[in-house]
Structure formats: structure tokens, C-alpha cells
Structure 1
């Protein structure tokens, strides 16, 4: 299931403009209020805060619906408390979410090259 989302992420989001940077790639990050859009503009990805929660999650949601409709959440079981110190990046072919000034790992796809489906 995780490999499906890696493929989905790669298909829709890699090398797509980010709100304050040109692309998300192995040497760039997504943090704070930055978001990326799918090529057709249907989906948006970034940090979001559901309802009255004080926590933040990395997720994908429909861009053009009036009510935020989340279709995927990366760190459902491990939210972050401050989106401005959390960073989503690509490392060794994995999506990795780090939190805090010391960049503590919070979530990762955890795939190695032999388990990824291509």
C-alpha cells in the first residue's frame, strides 16, 4: 500500500512547482505553508490541521472542493505540533518527515530499493 502512494506521489508531485520553491526533489524540502499541486490542479499536498486539532499532518486533498477533503495522510499516527519546524523531504528514495530544530524523524515510507515496485 505504501508503494502505491510513493508511485502516486511521484506521478503527481515530483518536479511540480512548490508555492515558494521551484520543485520538490531529493535536495529540496516542503515545510510550513508550502504546498505542491498535481499537474492537473486536482490535488494539493502539504501540512494541514484538521478541525480543532492542535496537530499538523502531511496529506493530500482535493484542491477545488469548498470543504477540504483529505484523501491521504502520511503521519496519521504521529502528528507534528509545529509545521514551521517540521520538514518533508526525499531521502534515499523515501518520503521522510522530520520535526524540530534537531530534525527528529517522525514518519517515513521506510522502503528500501529492493522493496520498491517500479
Structure 2
């Protein structure tokens, strides 16, 4: 039987994968969007306020590789945990089911965000 501690680990893995995929979106897709719709001054203000954006943009391949690994690991954990039993207690079973549902949603959202960021950052390098 899967303990609450194991379920919490699975949720934290999903949140971490969301965090890494959001960093790819912030480093690459957001600046491209701002510049393409004529908000270059806004982008300059963001870079002035958050200078680490420059580092993320300069190192986009390691950032995307790391986030891809985290998303892959999170997806594998989701796949592995999909048929594990939940506790017998009705309240714990409901919490288990809810945690699994949210963990799956967060992972899927993270993958979508990663694909959007990758399309803005990596496709121009390839083409």
C-alpha cells in the first residue's frame, strides 16, 4: 500500500517539473512574445529587474535538457503510480484520488508549457 509520504513525494515531483517547465517558458517564450507584440521596453525592464533571465537565455540548452529530464521522470512516476492502491479509509482514499488527479494535471500542464517554450527557443536554432 502506498503511504501518504510517497504520495507527497509524487506531488512534489510534479510541482518541481512544473517549476522547471515554467523556467523554460520564462527564459524563451515570454521574451519572444513581448518583442513580437512590440513590448521591447517591457522586456528591457524585466531584464533590468531580473538579471537572471539573461543567464537562462544564454544557457537554454542545459535548461531545456534539465527540464526535459524532470518532466520525463515525473511522467514515469505518474505512469508507475496510476494503478497503485489507495488507503481503505474513505477520507484517505478521497485524498489519495484527489492528489493523483492533481498530480496528473500538473504534469500534463508542465508538458504543454515545456512544448511551448521549446517551440519558441529551440525551433529557431534548428531552422
Q: Same fold (TM over 0.5)?
A: no
Normalised by the length of structure 2, the TM-score is: 0.24
- Greater Rg by CA: 2
Specify which structure has the higher proportion of helix.
Answer: 2
Relative to total residues, which structure has the larger strand share, 1 or 2?
1
Looking at both structures, which has the greater relative contact order when contacts are Cα pairs under 8 Å and sequence separation is at least 6? 2
